[in-house]
Amino acid sequence: GENVEQHPSTLSVQEGDSAVIKCTYSDSASNYFPWYKQELGKGPQLIIDIRSNVGEKKDQRIAVTLNKTAKHFSLHITETQPEDSAVYFCAASMNTGNQFYFGTGTSLTVIP
């Protein structure tokens, strides 16, 4: 089955700096890659996603890049703010329904 690895497990940045989280996947059949933000005591919140026919997608301060050949994708957050502090999960899915394989999460702390 699919195996998703995520790095780093923890990340601390100064407010205003950029944060980058990286994920790799194992199954070339995966074609949909969402990113979720999870705050304490809450369910994961979809923040951005990318499909395998696209190399990059941006939404305001958040961007995701995908390298299908290398089987890795990354989340970039620019101009970080304290409210960006949360656990971020990457996920991969194949075209067989919404069965997601999640990474182990990155705890992001933005220091004011």
Binding mask 19-48 for another protein (x = CB under 8 A): ------------xx-x-x----xxxxxx--
Q: How far is the CB of 110 from another protein (least distance, A)?
A: 20
- Please, what's the largest Cα pairwise distance for the chain? 42
CA distance 50 to 66: 8
Q: How many chain residues bind another protein (CB under 8 A)?
A: 28
What residues contact 49, with CB distance under 8 A and at least 6 apart? 32, 33, 34, 35, 57, 64
- CB proximity list for 98: less than 8 A, separation 6 or greater: none
Contact call for residue 101 and another protein (CB under 8 A): yes
Residue in 49, 62, 68, 109 binding another protein, rule: CB under 8 A: 49
Quote the DSSP letter at residue 98: S
Of 14 and 96, CB closest to another protein: 96
Which residues are near another protein by CB under 8 A? 4, 6, 31-32, 34, 36, 41-46, 49, 51, 89, 91, 93, 95-105
